[in-house]
Amino acid sequence: MTEDRFETIAIHAGQDPDPATGSVIVPIYATSTYVQEAPGVHKGYEYSRSDNPTRTALQTQLAALEGVLPGADGGCVATSSGLAATSLIGYLLKPGDHVVISNDAYGGTFRLFASVLADHGIEWSAADLTLDGGLEAALKPRTKLVWVETPTNPLLRIVDIAKIVGVAHSVEAMVAVDNTFATPFFQQPLELGADMVMHSSTKYLGGHSDAVGGAIITNNAELYDRLKFLQNALGPVPGPFDAYLFLRGIKTLAVRMERHEQNASAIARFLESDSRVAQVWYPGLASHPGHELAARQMTGFGGMVSFRPSGGLDAANSLVGRTRLFFLAESLGGVESLIETPANMTHMSVDGTDLEVPADLVRASVGIEHVDDLISDLDRALG
């Protein structure tokens, strides 16, 4: 296992043939409970909130992809959504503790810290973690967690994970990295020193827009024990059917990510060269302020492209209403292309705050359809 590469790990980690039947595919263990020989004497499973074999396979697969191989310290806890994963991380904190969040982040993450955890005494501040000294300026005596999203949603900013880890660890704060946009195929935050990686598995990991889920992976044994305890104590677990969908989707993560990136990079170049477009954000473009850092920190630039049409808000609204292949919808990371305007869709909860996104911003999740068809679709819709 240790010498296996990413593509091989995705297909084999946690997925040995079923010992009972030889089934090549991990069965969907649709059971809530497990018979015991005597009280407490069982085959490792008691109740499916605590553990379920289909979920165990998914957790082993995901942990291995983030560099936590079977037998190593730490592991993965799979959750019922990305926000459930973020909530579990929030429960690591105590009233009076303080969190620094990157000032561009998924709207729901921001809402969880600002409108839910804040009511339970967890203080928070937003900071531009791409700036030199941005984190240092936001630290407080009780800063216990730094929440990094990179690339950020929706402005695709790139945060230097190793640098943030250096500052955070010097004041004994933990670093959690939301790796949803990059996926472990393009970015390995634990290798860069992060304490935890969080995913909305709903996106690229699942890859087919057919299930909502999340995950946290850590290589710290103590943190893993606490998160595993919280997963059972709070209960936001995925059912076995969803665990199966994620296991299946993740097998093809590498090939999908390569194609997402090829298509996104061609689309970013098309948009950048078109006068109907005022501004384009894609970390693979030399014009992107985080390009060099992304090239160093990631092994690819991902499948998300954000841009502002030259005609402002009206142009943005009419563009997203005119595409045929890019469906107007929230979410991202599926094989089909999606398009949206974050300010009045996915990021409404940041309206009027430091995290505000431009009203005429258009975000595209570039799928794996034929790139020429995607470019024609955008070309036509730009009018």
The question of whether 73 is a catalytic residue gets the answer: no
The question of whether 163 is a catalytic residue gets the answer: no
Are residues 64 and 89 in contact, defined by beta-carbon separation less than 8 angstroms? no
Q: How far is the CB of 273 from ligand P1T (least distance, A)?
A: 27
Distance CA 223, CA 173 (A): 13
In the numeric block, the tokens 């839910």 are attached to 116
Q: How far is the CB of 256 from ligand P1T (least distance, A)?
A: 17
Nearest to 366 by CA among 329, 326, 330: 326
Are residues 85 and 79 in contact, defined by beta-carbon separation less than 8 angstroms? yes
Output 139 or 205, the one with its CB closest to ligand P1T: 205
Return the number of other C-beta atoms located less than 10 Å from residue 41's C-beta. Answer: 7
Strand (E) or helix (H) holding 11: helix 6-12
Answer positive or negative: Cα dihedral of 311, 313, 316, 319: negative
The question of whether 106 is a catalytic residue gets the answer: yes
The residue annotated as part of the active site, out of 49, 259, 276, 322, is 49
Q: How far is the CB of 158 from ligand P1T (least distance, A)?
A: 14
Sequence-separated (6 or more) residues with CB below 8 Å from residue 1: 9, 12, 13, 64, 69, 70
Q: How far is the CB of 248 from ligand P1T (least distance, A)?
A: 17
Output 109 or 218, the one with its CB closest to ligand P1T: 109
Q: How far is the CB of 81 from ligand P1T (least distance, A)?
A: 3
The residue annotated as part of the active site, out of 55, 157, 203, 256, is 203
Output 48 or 152, the one with its CB closest to ligand P1T: 152
Please give the single-letter amino acid code of residue 115: S
Output 82 or 189, the one with its CB closest to ligand P1T: 82
Distance CA 191, CA 66 (A): 8
Output 136 or 356, the one with its CB closest to ligand P1T: 356
Output 166 or 321, the one with its CB closest to ligand P1T: 321
Q: How far is the CB of 202 from ligand P1T (least distance, A)?
A: 4
Q: How far is the CB of 263 from ligand P1T (least distance, A)?
A: 18
Output 13 or 304, the one with its CB closest to ligand P1T: 304
Q: How many residues does the chain have?
A: 383
Q: How far is the CB of 23 from ligand P1T (least distance, A)?
A: 29
**Distance between start and end Cα atoms, the chain:** 52
The residue annotated as part of the active site, out of 29, 55, 104, 106, is 106
**Tokens linked to 287:** 């014009």
Output 53 or 199, the one with its CB closest to ligand P1T: 199
The backbone torsions φ and ψ at residue 217, rounded to the nearest 5 degrees and listed phi first, read: -125, 135
The residue annotated as part of the active site, out of 97, 104, 160, 178, is 178
Distance CA 112, CA 337 (A): 27
Question: Is the backbone peptide bond immediately before 154 cis, with ω within 30 degrees of 0?
Answer: yes
Distance CA 130, CA 269 (A): 24
The question of whether 195 is a catalytic residue gets the answer: no
Strand (E) or helix (H) holding 144: strand 143-149
Cα angle 192, 196, 201; round to 5: 110
Are residues 278 and 313 in contact, defined by beta-carbon separation less than 8 angstroms? no
Residues lying near ligand P1T in the complex (CB under 6 A): 81-83, 106, 108-109, 149, 153, 178, 180-181, 200, 202, 212, 214, 330-332, 346
Distance CA 141, CA 322 (A): 51
Give me the active site residues, please: 49, 106, 178, 203
